[in-house]
Structure 1
Amino acid sequence: MSIRNLDALFAPNTVAVFGASERPGSVGATIWRNLRAEFSGQLLGVNPKRREIDGVPVYPSAAALPAVPDLAVICTPAATVPGLIEELGRLGTRAAVVVTAGLDKAQKQRMLDAARRHTLRILGPNCIGMLVPHWGLNASFAHIGAQKGDIAFVSQSGALVTAMLDWAGSRGIGFSHFVSLGEHADVDFGDMLDYLGSDPRTRAILLYIESIEAPRKFMSAARAAARNKPVIVVKAGRSAQGQKAAASHTGALAGSDDVFDAAISRAGMLRVFTLQHLFLAAELLARFRDNKSERMVILTNGGGAGVMAADAAAHAGVELTELDEAMLARLDAVLPANWSRGNPVDIIGDAPGQRYVDALTALREDRHSAILFVQAPTAIVPSTDIARALLPLATLKPSRLMGCWLGFDAVNEARAIFRGAGVPDYDTPEEAVRAFSFLQAYRRHQEELLQTPSSAPLGPVADLAAIRAIVNDVLGSGRELLSEPEAKALLHAAGLPVVPTHIAAADAEAAVRAAQAVGFPVVIKILSHQISHKSDVGGVRLNLANADEVREAARAMLARVAAERPGALVDGFTVQPMVKLRQSHELIVGASVDPLFGPVILFGQGGVSVEVVADRALALPPLNGPLAQALIARTRVAKLLRGYRDQPAADMAAIERVLVAISQLLADVPEIAELDINPLVVNADGAVALDARVRLSAQRPAGAANFAIRPYPVEQEERITHLGRELLLRPIRPEDELQHRAFIEKLSPEDVRLRVFYSRRTIEHSELARLTQIDYAREVAFIAEGELPDGGHETLGTVRAGIDPDNDSAEFGVIVRSDIKGGGLGHMLMDKLVRTLRAHGTRRIVGTVLKENSRMRLLAKRLGFAESPSDDDPGLVHIELPLHTTGAQEP
């Protein structure tokens, strides 16, 4: 991931157009004209066949240019592109837009090799170009320009770029950046998210995605950007399920588009499904993002309009507020007797302006509901007058009101008044309700980023030695598919609850003897490495109460398998007690490996009809408790699990433990290719796996290294001795929030001031979540943890560094609890940080220190940091420690 030299791409002072032309309709002429129209910097043309274009001198080559361009726009034949990039790189150009299409694989590779030698960034090839309206930069061959605004739009489709410019221009939508990635050979979505996520002119980021080639880079950049501003995605190819023949239900159910949804949710972004929805969501998140309402009240002067809005809410899953007696009384006091007395709140078509004000004043008393105002124009009072009357209430904070003015000419001014005041406004009730549903989904995704897991372990530690023995034995025998007993043994070693399973020979009497040993009633199943889905061949019989029933069932199974699968080798039967959990639910928990995002976990309603019911949700590992809860909540069966009528709630903690254990299993055992627990039976007393399938692969498709999100790096844990006490130096975890709060509360105000340059008394949950829920791919944070006499733990010091996307520099901070300063713990923490960043390939560690912080300056000097005055503040000093003298490595 890199944002290096993207400033030269998006904010150049000098631009050169290679292939500049005056030939009407040509790409070179269009780009030249677009740049000349607005760009205030130095514009240079290159064309060996021209001496001037439009009275402006044109040069025959890059070497002939009077200045080195910051940005080159290349629209010359494909064969010329690699050589041009090499020449420009040597001259010192640091960015290029390669509009040219048709580069073959070899040409593209030579272009990239030349660019990387000189750290020259490339947008394209085969792209429309890009527009940066605030910079007056239109380096594209789009037919129109873009208005200034604060939305960034990044697209892989060039044709879509021009269409969206046209559509947005007609609606007055402006942009900070408008970028066509083309084939994204260099600059890709991850780079754009990193750049735009910290761009002060960009308030929201809109993406049109067709494919992603670097999922971990994309996820890291997306998670970082989505913490700062809304990121909204349209993904093409929803219908392409990418399903293939699979040994497990999970492998068949986990379609690629579902996995993409899971990735978007995990990154805190919002996915919508049409381009119109892209802008609806962007407007609402910009104007209404702080609204926390889960319900909606509809205020209207027309019954039909209210019904339309209510229907839209039902379709979108938006809950309408039930008006309580107190609210009904408030409204009765200001509305005519024939008002609707329900939600939608219909104040009748003859409503004068004051009635609107009175109704909205009353509804604002409900602090938990958003208000959708739908007004149809009438002859009683102009819509413009209503808008002006409502504006003082409409603009109160926190934002509670969304507007919908029905009609065109009669309501244009009213709509403009609302929009000009920052009130989100929509053309139809359906648009407004849909946008509100987007806000709810976005908020759920954001909450997942800030949830605080429990500090208590969710389950027993896995027996990795036993798991490895099973894996090695199966792969060593040339098999991939585990037998049911092997699969259950593996899950048991991973800490999951499984039903006891016994193996009997492929003989009816052997099955009877096993059943008598287990105790009736029993379940028997056919055991064969060639048969994955046993129920498909009648290979499962439940609730067998005696020996005769077992004998008959075993014989029937053998006969049916012989008839339907004559080539299958039957190894015998599995026999297990018939588990009857009262008031229970059958669930499915599984895992598979997506070709793009790697391991993925599935949860949903289980049983033999799992494909038909199709109630499932997916999540990317690693999981913890809150993320497991969020996964469960995305299914329909979650409502049943919470209990209903005389059905008690299921043991949700037991389900969470299973999901987290599966996540850990995927991290610890790279050979897992597919895993299925179906059914996982759960009731109020717990959960147990009744059947399981596991497929392995010697290609090791799972494992933490293949996660799209880097899991907790347990290998970085280290034990040290400090003042005679053993401490654990380890990466910080989300579960550390309460412990971290206690640590901060024990710091003296002066130590806090020296660390963050100002005093503070409290720290918010959202900030604590950002400190403890880090992205291990681009952040480093270690705590020094000691054990307490009661078995608990405390944090004694912490060191952290944020690594820039280029892996060039890491800005650090370190602090030790005030009552134990001076004992050398700060030096130990800094040494740990330096060693870790050096191994990570980071080039240098930098920091800013108060000049008066003599203790930190002395520590930095002992560690080899060089000190220099700050250019920004005489009270600060800059410190820096080089780690590598060669180029930065990709994380």
Structure 2
Amino acid sequence: MSVRNLQHLLAPRSVALIGASERPGSLGATLLANLAGGGFRGAIYPVNPRHEQVAGLTCYPGLASLPEVPELAVLALPARAVPGIVRQLGEIGNRAAIVPAFGLSLERDEYGRTLKQAMLDAANPYLLRILGPNSAGLLAPPLGLNASMAASGALPGRIAFVSQSGALMTGVLDWARSRGIGFSKFIALGESADVDVGDVLDYLATDGTTAAILLHLEGLRYARKFMSAARAAARSKPTVVLKSGRIADGACASALRGGALAGADDVYDAAIRRAGMLRVFTTEELFAAVEILAHARPHGGERLAIVSNGAGPGMMAADALVCNGGQLAQLSSETAERLGRTLPAGWSHAHVVNILSDAPPERYRDVLAVLLEDPQADAVLLVHAPTAGVDSVAVASAVAPLARAAARNVLSCWLGGDTVAQARALASSADIPSFGTPEDAVDGFLQIVHYRQNQNLLMQVPPTVPDTEAPNRGAARQLVRTALAERRHLLTDPQAQAILDAYGIPHVRTRAAANVEEAVSAAQQIGFPVAVKILSPSVMHKSDVGGVVLDLDTPDAVRAAAGRIQRRLGSARPDARFEGFVVQAMARRPEAHELFAGVVLDPVFGPVIVFGQGGLEAEAMADHAVALPPLNAVLARELVGRTRVARLLAGYRNRPPANMDALLAVLVQVSRLIEDIPEIVELDMNPLLADSSGVVVLDARMRLALADQSGSTLDRLAIRPYPRELEQVVQWRGQPLMLRPIRPEDAPAHLALFAALTPDDVRYRMFVRVRELSPSQLARFTQIDYDREMAFIATRPGANGQDETLAVGRVVLDPDNVSAEFAITVRSDLKGQALGRMLMEKLIAYCRSRGTREIVGEALPQNARVIALVRKLGFEVTPAGEEGVRKLRLQLR
């Protein structure tokens, strides 16, 4: 991942158009017209040896004749000419180019390379960044830059639009211009041979001209890079995604049932949610989401109060809200009483407030004031239908001051066309999101809700899952190695359940039997009643061949059932290899729910966890949800909550709720299993029974792949899990001390550490006086992206049995892994006892192992301890010229 030299691409001060032309309809003429007509404030240098002047601009015969090195080059050239020109650009010092040419992947040069590879080989020695090939270009309207093939320009604004489809460019630009929507950047990525989605998101996350990001996705190649960049961008500004190709190529290929449940679009949806972004499904929703999120108040909550001047429109809004999973605010009795004093006797006296068709502007204002004070209402939607004798503009003017000053969100719907156009415009100018139909207004509100839910997942501090056993990874790995040595890629039931044992996942008692009499003996050891199942690596789903018989109460019944199962296998699958039987205790849990939990391998995002309703009808019911590992309790609960079966698990009538802690613990352990053992590429636990007493797996199947096929844990997971290998026990003051990476579960201990700092120590760390950490700050400090940053804590068991954090050392790496910015915090009463030095040395060793070039930081001159510490470790300390701040720098390579 890299943002290196992207400033030359996205904010250039000069542009060279190579292949400039005046021939109508040519690529060079289109690009020249857009560059010259966009109002670009920098220099434009047309290059073409056949012209001395084009479009009133001096035209240069070649790169060597240019008066300066252009920051950005646009190549209006055929594919075969591109690699050579890219090399020349690198040689003269250019560092960014746009390549619109198509077909570089199809043609080869004299060395057998594709022209695309030849282009990249020419660019790499110079770190020359390439947008394309097959890119429709980019626009930066605040700079007046239109280096694109778009038929029309863009208005300046604060929204960045990034698209993998150049064909979408013209339509979106025209659509946005007609609605007065402007852009800070408009980027068509093309084939993303070099600059891709992750690079652009990293740049835009810190771009001061961009307030919100719109992203059109067709597909991804580098899931880890995308997830790190997307999570960073979503933390800093609203990021909205339109993902096309929702039905392309169906589900993940899989031999187990889980693969039939998890489709590619489900996985993208899970990734977008996990990154804290908002997904929309139409272009109109894309821009509506930006308007909503740009105007949305920080006040949370999901309960919407609806007020309308007619029963019909109000009920339409309520129907849309409830049918799409929203919550209608249940107004308090005090609010109803106040409304009764404000409204005529004929008002609705319902939770959808009908203020009647003759409502004057003052009535709208007074009712809105009452609703904004109701603690049961988190937001208010005002629906207005034009009526004779009521001035719609006056209504908008009456409510605008209240809405603008409100801490809660106020949305508006102005039914109609020209009659309410001015009122709608007035409301929008007052920062009130305005819509043309009740349904659109409700969709807008639900976008706020969904966006905040995703942001909460990004920021929330998870609790520790109770009773989660530390896994026996060694035993599980040995089982996998043994199976692979036997060339067995589908584990037997006993092997699969032994791995579940290693991770503390409950399952029914199980024995393997080589023949009928061993099956009888196994049943007697387990205790009746039992189930008998076929054991064959050739059979994926035992019930498909009549390979399961349940509720066997006697040895004779087991003997007869085993014989029947073996005969059925011979008849249905004469080619199948018979290895015996599996005998299991019958699980007598009449009130248990049949669930499914498993893992499948997505071709882009790697392992994904699937959960939903189980049993034989799992595929037909299609009640499932997917999530990216690693999971913690919060993420596991959110995964369960996205299924319909979650409502049943909560209990109903006389059926008690299922033990949710036990279920979440299983899902977290499944996540740990798939993180630890990369050879397990699929896991299928169906049914997984859950009731008030806990959970138990009745049947589990696992499929393996060779490690060199599945990749290492780090490579195959879209989100890097907790790096357990970096844990270290050291001796400190005669007692063991754990130095390890920080975890989200460390949030309470981190708060306690902050509370134990003196005001001066807080100022030394934060550079300002801060009394307490906000929830978002706490999440930012404890929920880190281990691929982008590292925070090591020194921790020990506390007096209350909970671990306490004594000190923390942190580095944040830039996307190019060139520079890492560090910070050290030691509990105020433990200073001078080598904690800071231990953590600093660990940070330095970590950065060296990552290949980082330098570690940098800043310190106030009063922070003498830190300055003395880093000097001893070899840091340069120099004045930064800003209020006496000292710059700290350690060269690593």
Counterpart residue identity of residue 651, structure 2? G
Give the counterpart letter for 1:829 in structure 2. L
Q: Is the 8 A contact 1:749 1:759 kept in 2?
A: yes
1:765 aligns with 2:766: no
Check 1:503–1:100 CA distance in 2 against 1; reply closer, same or farther (3 A cut).
closer
How far off is 1:782 after superposition? 0.6
Structure 2 letter corresponding to 1:564: A
What secondary structure sits across from 1:183 in the alignment? coil
| Cα displacement (A) at 1:790 | 5.3
Instruction: Tell me which residue corresponds to 1:502.
Output: 511
Preserved contact between residue 588 and residue 680 of structure 1 (Cα < 8 Å): yes
TM-score (norm: length of structure 1)? 0.97
1:584 aligns with 2:579: no
SS where residue 395 of structure 1 aligns?
helix
- The Cα shift of 1:700 comes to 4.8
Query: Which residue does 1:788 correspond to in 2?
Result: 798
> Which structure 2 residue ranges, 5 or more long, are not aligned?
107-113
Of residues 318-327 and 141-150 in structure 1, the stretch that sits farther from structure 2 once superposed is: 318-327
Indicate the SS of the match to 1:59: coil
**C-alpha displacement of 1:458:** 4.8
Q: CA deviation at 1:298?
A: 1.7
The answer as to whether partners of 1:606 and 1:679 remain within 8 angstroms in 2 is: yes
TM-aligned CA deviation for residue 451 of structure 1: 1.8
- Letter in structure 2 aligned against 1:553: A
Quick check: 1:615 aligned with 2:623?
yes
Cα distance in 1, alignment partners of residues 24 and 255 from structure 2: 59
Question: Larger deviation: 728-737 or 702-711?
Answer: 702-711
CA change 1:874–1:246 in 2 (3 A) is closer
Q: TM-score, normalised by structure 2?
A: 0.96
2: CA distance, partners of 1:495 / 1:577 = 18
Letter in 2 for 1:255: G
Map 1:490-889 → 2, pairs under 5 A? 490-507=499-516, 509-698=517-706, 699-701=708-710, 703-705=712-714, 706-788=716-798, 791-871=801-881, 873-884=882-893
Shift of 1:455: 4.3
Aligned to 1:112: 120
- Which residues of 2 match residues 215-614 of structure 1 at below 5 A? 215-243=223-251, 246-367=254-375, 368-455=377-464, 458-507=467-516, 509-614=517-622
**Residues of 2 paired with 1:58 and 1:66: CA distance?**
11
Give the AA of the match of 1:378.
T
How far is the alpha carbon of 1:268 from its aligned partner? 0.8
> Could you tell me which amino acid in structure 1 is paired with residue 794 of structure 2?
A
Q: Residue 191 of structure 2 aligns with which residue?
A: 183
* Segments ≥4 residues shifted beyond 6 Å: none
SS in 2 for 1:63: helix
For 1:159, the equivalent position in structure 2 comes to 167
Q: Which moved more, 1:152-161 or 1:358-367?
A: 358-367
Give me the whole-angstrom Cα distance separating, in 2, the residues matched to 1:821 and 1:606: 55
Partner Cα separation in structure 2 for residue 415 and residue 865 of structure 1? 60
Q: Deviations for 1:556-602, whole angstroms, at most 9, x for unmatched residues? A: 32232222112222222222221112421111110111111011111
Say if 2:55 is the partner of 1:46. no
Q: CA deviation digits over 1:625-673, x for unaligned, max 9?
A: 1111111111111111111121111111111111111111111111101
Which stretch has the larger CA shift, 714-723 or 208-217?
A: 714-723
SS at match of 2:671: helix
Distance (whole Å) between structure 2 residues aligned to residue 748 and residue 328 of structure 1: 50
* Segment of structure 1 superposing worse, 116-125 or 452-461: 452-461
- Secondary structure at the aligned position of 1:240 is classed as coil
Q: Quote the offset at 1:58 in angstroms.
A: 0.4
Cα distance, 1:285 vs structure 2 = 1.1
Which residue of the partner structure matches residue 889 of structure 1?
A: none
Paired AA for residue 474 in structure 2? A
Query: 1 CA distance for matches of 2:268 and 2:439?
Result: 26
Measure, in 2, the Cα distance between the counterparts of 1:622 and 1:300.
46
Q: How far 1:388 sits from its partner (Å)?
A: 0.5
- Gaps of at least 5 residues in structure 1 are 885-891
Q: CA RMSD in A?
A: 1.6
- Residue 187 of structure 2 aligns to a residue whose secondary structure is strand
Contact 1:598/1:702 (<8 A) preserved? no
Shift in Å, 1:350: 1.5
Range moving further from structure 2, 376-385 or 509-518: 509-518
Residues 593 and 701 in structure 1, CA contact (< 8 A), matched pair in contact too: no
Shift of 1:245: 5.5
Please identify, of 107-116 and 336-345, the stretch whose mean Cα deviation from structure 2 is larger: 336-345
2:33 corresponds to: 33
Deviation at 1:406, TM superposition (A): 1.1
CA deviations 1:388-411 (Å, max 9, x no partner) are 111111212313210111112111
Amino acid across the alignment from 1:179: I
Q: Determine the structure 2 residue equivalent to 1:207.
A: 215
How many pairs are equivalent? 882
What is the CA–CA distance in structure 2 between the aligned matches of 1:583 and 1:115, rounded to whole Å? 65
Q: Per-residue displacement from partner, 1:395-449 (whole Å, max 9, x unpaired)?
A: 1231321011111211111111111111111121111111222222211111111
Give 1:819 deviation, angstroms. 1.2
Amino acid at match of 1:735: E
Partner of 2:19: 19
Q: Say whether the 8 Å CA contact 2:465–2:665 is kept in structure 1.
A: no
SS at match of 2:702: strand
Q: Which amino acid aligns with 2:607?
A: P
Q: What's the CA shift string for 1:527-546, capped at 9, x where partnerless?
A: 21211201112211222233
C-alpha distance 244-457 of structure 1, shift in aligned 2 (>3 A): closer
SS in 1 for 2:604: coil
Distance 1:744 1:526 in 2: 59
AA partner of residue 573 (structure 2): R
Structure 1 CA distance for aligned equivalents of residues 587 and 675 of structure 2: 30
Q: Distance in 2 between matches of 1:774 and 1:612?
A: 39
Tell whether the 8 Å contact from 1:241 to 1:255 is kept in structure 2 after alignment.
Answer: no
Distance in 1 (alpha carbons) for counterparts of 2:754 and 2:239 = 32
Q: Do the aligned partners of 1:512 and 1:547 also contact (CA within 8 Å) in 2? A: yes
- Report deviation, 1:329: 1.8
User: Matched residues in 2 for 1:588 and 1:746: separation?
Assistant: 46
Q: Specify the code of the residue in structure 1 equivalent to 2:415.
A: L
Cα displacement (A) at 1:351: 1.4
Percent identical residues: 51
Show the counterpart of 2:133: 125
Q: Which amino acid aligns with 2:493?
A: E
Q: Distance in 1 between matches of 2:844 and 2:301?
A: 46
In 2, Cα distance between the equivalents of 1:619 and 1:289?
A: 29
